[in-house]
Amino acid sequence: MELDIDGCKVVLLDFFQKKKSILLKAFKSTEVKTFLEPLSDITIIFSDIKKSTDLKDYLISLTIPEEHLKEILQFFDRPFQSSFSWGFQDKEFVFIRLEESTKLFLKKNRKGLIGLVVHEILHGVQRQRGLEIRLHDSLDFSLDFFTQLAEVIPPEKYDRTQIISFLKKISQIALFALKDIFVNVEMIKRGFAEWLIIFYRDELGFGEDLDIKPPQYETEFHKGVIMVKDLDSFAEAFTYTLSLIPIWLPFMVLETDSKDYETSRELKHFIFNRYYINPSFITREMWHIENLFLANFSFSKSFHRKWYGAVFNLTLEYLLGEDFLFYHLFKATELLEELYIGPETEERKSLAMVPILKATYVYRRDKLIGIQKRNIDELDAKMLQYEIGKEELSELEESIDQSLEHSTSPAHMFENLMKLSIMIITRDLRENVFSGEDFKFKVFSRTILSLLQAINYLGDQCDNKYYHEVRLGVKRLLRTDNLFKRKRWALLLENFAQNTILRGETEPLQVEIDELVYNYDFFEIPLTNFFIDLGVSFIQNIKTVMKTVPINDDEFPFLTAQLINMQLGGLQLPSEDEEHLNLMFVSSLIATKGIPYVMIQKMLTAFLQTKVPKEESE
């Protein structure tokens, strides 16, 4: 049965002929019409996923050239998803393949059906914009590069023909996944997150008590040992895992206050808990894919190549028995070299770099089996560059031995060193955000994500609260273009990273920092690094007095005012900055937990009375 709906040719095969009225309602919806408008020649074919004969017969009747027909038929074997689109020149074909029992036909799931149709139509829209050509150009470049890189794999392990065939298979799924990511990101940004979630709920059984049994793959991973014997089965395992990425990854663009954010998080956890169970090594690397997306996503050729590079890197590291933790540590050191350029930043670079190198040494001592010789050579060269000599290494060895004696693992020392580096980097990231340098701000974020990725390999031994709080802070920074929100979250991120290392009683709490920033915005105080640092120091001074004098003591306001004015006495502030001081003090009082509002006027009066007047210049 063929229908013409506003110039769009709709073909109903198999059981879909009985669903004509439901499909007509979907096609007459504003959502579908909006996406159909840019396409001049589109055919949408609905068919039973369990029956391919009728669909193949229909395709043959269209006299599609044989090479194009073969290209279409390869989609039939993709694990996720079953529907797909295909086009050449100005012609677009959409294939919707479902089971008769699908719940998308239910009235309550109508949005899910529309979401599926819009998803496939949007592929055609993006193809007509020229995306397909750009993706293929980037893929050809990346495939050529990694084919050359594959030369490092010993020829006695894998035949060259096998390797090239294997990389081509991986390249195809990398291309399909990227196309789906681009479509889903555009849908989510256009407000279609709920439509997608309803569709995937039906497709995956999300929210239902189903006995989901993902396919099992024999792809054991041993660090430092080339183990994979069957490249085809490994390609199949990798394909299965990558096919699921476009379902959960695009939702990372949602803000945390979006109405669909919580449901999208549930969907992601559902996939990780019910589908990503084997092979586990690939599942762990999905964090790396997510970090890449958060730090670099765009529709540009640059992101295309980074995406393909990440996928090919994962496959080659696995084939070589690479140590993933080492990979992320060295990625972080490379990014630090990129961040700190010039003699004026050399000290900051060294402060951030040395803890990473020491952490790497701690990890290396007990994990030699999974680390390639070239990794060790790189580590030794870096240590020499940053003057970590025999004496420091001897002290490090002693500390490792002591940690074992006190029933704490070297992993604990490793994590603390990483936290120290992150604390330094978050400080510099905040200063960078406040200065408005977008490029470096993103590189700082990528560096932190690489270090967190390394911490993630500690598994149950790592500090989950720290890991997730810092990672969420970076994700918030990368998701927003709002300067106020970015400054606020950069400050919260620095504060959390710092307080984990320096757990002083007078350090501002995260909620206090948050309140301080909001107060500054309310009182129209500029969000500069200097003013923020000053406000934070006010909170610290207030809490210092709170430790020794009860708040209800008559002396409390004056002692606090005197302590802060002593600090201000040593500062030479421009006259235009002086006018903000009173409101900065009030902002800090409101932010400090434990200070009742009834005290604020009394403490402000004490602050003004004890203020030392500036000497007038002649």
Question: What pLDDT is attached to residue 433?
Answer: 92
Candidate from 9-18, 123-132, 397-406 with smallest mean pLDDT: 397-406
Please give the Cα distance from 368 to 356 (Å, whole number).
17
Percent of the chain with pLDDT over 70: 91
Candidate from 136-140, 229-233, 592-596, 610-614 with smallest mean pLDDT: 610-614
Structure tokens at 162: 């096998």
Please give the Cα distance from 14 to 12 (Å, whole number).
7
Structure tokens at 507: 């350090």
Q: What are phi and psi of 480, to 5 degrees?
A: -110, 145
For 468-505, the pLDDT digits (tens) are: 889 889 988 988 888 888 899 999 899 888 877 766 77
- pLDDT of 260 > 90? The answer is yes
Domain boundaries along the sequence of the chain: 1-123, 130-320, 323-503, 506-618
Q: Is the pTM of this model over 0.85?
A: no
- The SS3 of residue 424 is helix
The strand pairing partners of 45, in sequence order, are 11, 95
The strand pairing partners of 92, in sequence order, are 42, 87
- Note if the bond before 372 is cis, omega within 30 degrees: no
What would the mean pLDDT of 435-451 be, rounded to a whole number? 87
Q: Which residues contact 371 (CB under 8 A, 6 or more apart)?
A: 223, 224, 323, 326, 364
What would the mean pLDDT of 431-442 be, rounded to a whole number? 84
| CA-based torsion, 249, 132, 314, 164: positive or negative | positive
CB atoms under 10 Å from CB of 558, counted, come to 19
What would the mean pLDDT of 262-273 be, rounded to a whole number? 90
Please give the Cα distance from 348 to 353 (Å, whole number).
9
For 389-428, the pLDDT digits (tens) are: 888 888 888 887 776 665 567 788 888 899 999 999 999 9
What would the mean pLDDT of 227-255 be, rounded to a whole number? 86
- pLDDT of 614 > 60? The answer is no
What would the mean pLDDT of 347-352 be, rounded to a whole number? 92
> In one letter, which amino acid is 341?
I
Question: What pLDDT is attached to residue 406?
Answer: 58
For 532-585, the pLDDT digits (tens) are: 989 999 999 899 888 888 888 888 998 898 888 888 876 777 777 777 889 999
In which region does residue 281 sit, left (phi positive, over 0), alpha (psi from -120 to 50) or beta (all else)?
alpha
Question: What pLDDT is attached to residue 296?
Answer: 87
Q: Name the residue with higher pLDDT: 257 or 539.
A: 539
Please give the Cα distance from 422 to 416 (Å, whole number).
10
Q: Which residues contact 287 (CB under 8 A, 6 or more apart)?
A: 453, 456
What would the mean pLDDT of 227-233 be, rounded to a whole number? 78
Q: Name the residue with higher pLDDT: 578 or 23.
A: 23
Question: What pLDDT is attached to residue 36?
Answer: 83
pLDDT confidence of 9, banded at 50, 70, 90?
confident
pLDDT confidence of 611, banded at 50, 70, 90?
confident
| Angstrom distances, CA of residue 126 to CA of 118, 133, 350, 569 | 12, 11, 46, 62
For 279-305, the pLDDT digits (tens) are: 666 666 788 888 889 888 998 888 998
pLDDT confidence of 267, banded at 50, 70, 90?
very high
What would the mean pLDDT of 167-173 be, rounded to a whole number? 86
Q: What is the rounded average pLDDT for all residues in the chain?
A: 83
Question: What pLDDT is attached to residue 428?
Answer: 93
Percent of the chain with pLDDT over 90: 23
